Structure 1
Amino acid sequence: MKKVGIFYSFRSVKTHQQVRKMIKLLGEANCEEVDADVATLEDFKKFDNYIFAVPTWFDGELPNYWDEYLPAIEDENFKGRKFAIFGGGDQKNYPENFVDGVGIMAEFIEERGGKVVGFTSVKGYNYESSRAQRDDKFVGLALDIENQAALTNERIENWITDIKKEFGIK
């Protein structure tokens, strides 16, 4: 089995903390971290399974580093590849676009034939709308460190249990 490529900005302290928890649960030997700030097409091609960390910035936007990286991979065929997406949002201060970045990334992946895995329940959140919501699920893991920090570890543990099955990790 190829390693899981975990793409995130190494400059993001909160995201790094979340990724470290995920790597511990997935097993160090199963993961390779990739800095989304400097990632290349070759970095992308090394994997069949991915975890993308996609926080939502401002009024429902992708972080700059994702805006800069996506053009490098937009012409790739993602067929046969699986993607799990997680991201932070703030349901209290930005309830009208809670974790929109996760939804934007899921759309980008699916338009290129990739399979998004790791859907999670919207129960337990209080927000107005989200591009990451499909029916009663988010298309990834929604984390709100600002308002629900106490729920983060359990949410990550449950999500990684599902992701391991999808990625074929024992």
Structure 2
Amino acid sequence: MTGIFFGSTTGTTESVANQIAQELGISSTDIHNVSETPVEATDKYDCLLLGSSTWGCGELQDDWYDFIKSLKSQNLNGKKVGIFGCGDSESYPDTFCDAVGLIYDELSENGCNFIGSFEPKDYTVTDSLICKNGKFVGLAIDDCNESSQKVSERIHEWCNLIKKEIE
């Protein structure tokens, strides 16, 4: 069972979370805003899809700070974790979607199995925290500078990758 957990200030990451849910056939009851959800809600899921926008100079969305701290104390052994995020590659190329990399770094010692990494083809930025060993560790969305069609295509492609990794 897959649960989506997101933090969203302007609604963009929430919109992406809903699009991912639609692509993967995830019920709306399995989509959780981290500002309103206790971390124990993650316990019932085998797969967690975690989403945050990047703010300031490469920071997590505000609601994630307490949630990620609590999530690190949870038993994530054997859980599959995919990460998605939103950023602005033109205005903030050095920190584009750093929140994805920050979540990855925070959970990398917790026994989870990360899914959804890929080679960043057709991206203008490939050297922020989201990039590890030449791959993006999760889905990067630039809703500010890319067309809605391109955003939808990126979500669709990432969801197809996720489907293969959770089967």
Is TM-score (shorter-chain normalized) higher than 0.5?
A: yes
Q: Are 2:43 and 1:51 equivalent residues in the alignment?
A: no
2:49 corresponds to which letter in structure 1? I
Distance in 2 (alpha carbons) for counterparts of 1:99 and 1:38: 23
1:82 corresponds to which letter in structure 2? K
What corresponds to 1:155 in structure 2?
A: 154
Q: Match of 2:145, SS?
A: helix
Q: TM-score, normalised by structure 2?
A: 0.91
* C-alpha spacing 1:35/1:77, structure 2 compared with 1 (3 Å): same
Give the length in aligned residue pairs: 166
Per-residue CA shift, 1:41-90, capped at 9, x if unaligned? Answer: 32121211011112111100011100021222222231100011110111
Larger deviation, residues 22-31 vs 157-166 = 22-31
Larger deviation, residues 31-40 vs 51-60 = 31-40
Say if 2:7 and 2:34, in contact at 8 Å, map to a contact too.
yes
Give matches, 1:13-162, under 5 Å.
13-29=11-27, 32-127=30-125, 129-149=127-147, 150-162=149-161
Unaligned regions of 5+ residues in structure 2, if any?
none
* C-alpha spacing 1:66/1:29, structure 2 compared with 1 (3 Å): closer
Q: TM-score, normalised by structure 1?
A: 0.89
1:23 corresponds to which letter in structure 2? A
Unaligned regions of 5+ residues in structure 1, if any?
none
RMSD of aligned residue pairs (Cα, Å): 1.8
1:113 corresponds to which letter in structure 2? G
Q: CA deviation at 1:129?
A: 2.9
